[in-house]
């Protein structure tokens, strides 16, 4: 069995390993390329002045921060376990994970920090999901958004990926963001492979991701219970178990 992995290349390694452990071969089909923004180091340095903590909502934000600044002394509050792990790898000493989504991160900040302690720095891309600054602002926190990277959509579906879809070589596709899903829908239509999706299962990180995939007809769309990679893999495992059970029943 083969699966399309649509994550940016820097984010795909752990997922590829997890799929391999399940006997699934990955077809890398990144829908976004992560590029640093101009003057990221200077912008970040300005945002960090007087800050009490750093907020990460993606591993890409961690990597962009690490490339732009040597500072690692501020405590980190991360939206999920993947971004928290990336922060620890980057050398941050105090890291806490909200283990969920932006709402969970707001709760974590409110539980551990005070608005009087200083501003919060959100290391982010040019496009963000959710109103983190607005939610925290309503609680009295000042949030400085440091725009450190840009996620550039792919211009076309890779020819090898399109060919694999046409010959039925991909049974699954995994999606981690609405923007990735939207990009895939557009590029699949441009490449003329919409019909191939009818035989494929889409595994989505959240309902918002699933909604972005609705423009295509899929064999099935499964949604993670929570927006975490582990929950997405659990949704995948449930789908695989159902298929195995059906095969076993058919063969009885």
Burial of 68 (0-12, 13-18, 19+ CB in 10 A): buried
At residue 184, the pLDDT reads 98
Two tokens at 107?
A: 């709760």
Residues ≥6 apart with Cβ < 8 Å to 118: 50, 51, 52, 53, 142
Q: Which domains does the chain carry?
A: 2-31+156-250 (3.40.50.10090), 34-152 (3.40.50.10090)
At residue 160, the pLDDT reads 94
At residue 246, the pLDDT reads 65
Q: For residue 121, give Cα distances in angstroms to 3, 41, 131, 133, 243.
A: 36, 14, 14, 10, 45
Q: Give the mean pLDDT of the chain.
A: 93
At residue 250, the pLDDT reads 38
At residue 243, the pLDDT reads 79
At residue 174, the pLDDT reads 98
At residue 10, the pLDDT reads 85
Tell me the C-alpha distance between 180 and 228, whole Å: 16
Number of helices and strands (H, E) in the chain? 10, 11
Give the sign of the dihedral formed by CA 107, CA 149, CA 62, CA 144. negative
H or E element that contains 27: strand 25-28
Those residues of the chain that have pLDDT short of 70 are 244-252
Residues ≥6 apart with Cβ < 8 Å to 150: 34, 35, 36, 37, 125, 126
pTM, 2 dp: 0.81
Q: How do residues 224-247 score in pLDDT, each as one tens digit?
A: 998 888 999 999 999 999 976 665
């Amino acid at each position: 069995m083969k699966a399309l992995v649509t994550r940016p290349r820097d984010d795909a390694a752990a997922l590829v390993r997890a799929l391999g452990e399940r006997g699934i071969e990955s077809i890398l089909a990144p829908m976004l390329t992560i590029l640093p923004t101009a003057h990221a180091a200077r912008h970040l340095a300005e945002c960090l002045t007087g800050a009490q903590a750093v907020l990460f909502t993606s591993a890409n934000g961690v990597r962009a921060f690490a490339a732009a600044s040597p500072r690692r002394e501020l405590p980190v509050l991360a939206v999920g376990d993947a971004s928290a792990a990336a922060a620890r790898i980057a050398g941050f000493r105090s890291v806490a994970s909200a283990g969920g989504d932006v709402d969970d991160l707001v709760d974590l900040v409110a539980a551990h920090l005070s608005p009087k302690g200083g501003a919060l720095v959100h290391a982010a891309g040019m496009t963000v999901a959710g109103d983190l600054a607005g939610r925290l602002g309503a609680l009295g926190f000042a949030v400085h958004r440091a725009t450190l990277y840009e996620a550039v959509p792919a211009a076309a579906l890779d020819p090898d990926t399109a060919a694999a879809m046409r010959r039925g070589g991909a049974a699954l596709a995994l999606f981690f963001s609405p923007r990735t899903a939207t990009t895939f829908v557009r590029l699949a239509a441009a490449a003329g492979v919409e019909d191939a999706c009818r035989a494929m299962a889409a595994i989505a990180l959240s309902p918002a991701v699933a909604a972005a995939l609705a423009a295509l007809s899929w064999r099935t769309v499964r949604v993670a219970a929570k927006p975490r990679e582990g929950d997405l893999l659990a949704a995948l495992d449930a789908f695989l178990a159902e298929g195995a059970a059906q095969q076993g029943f058919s063969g009885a």
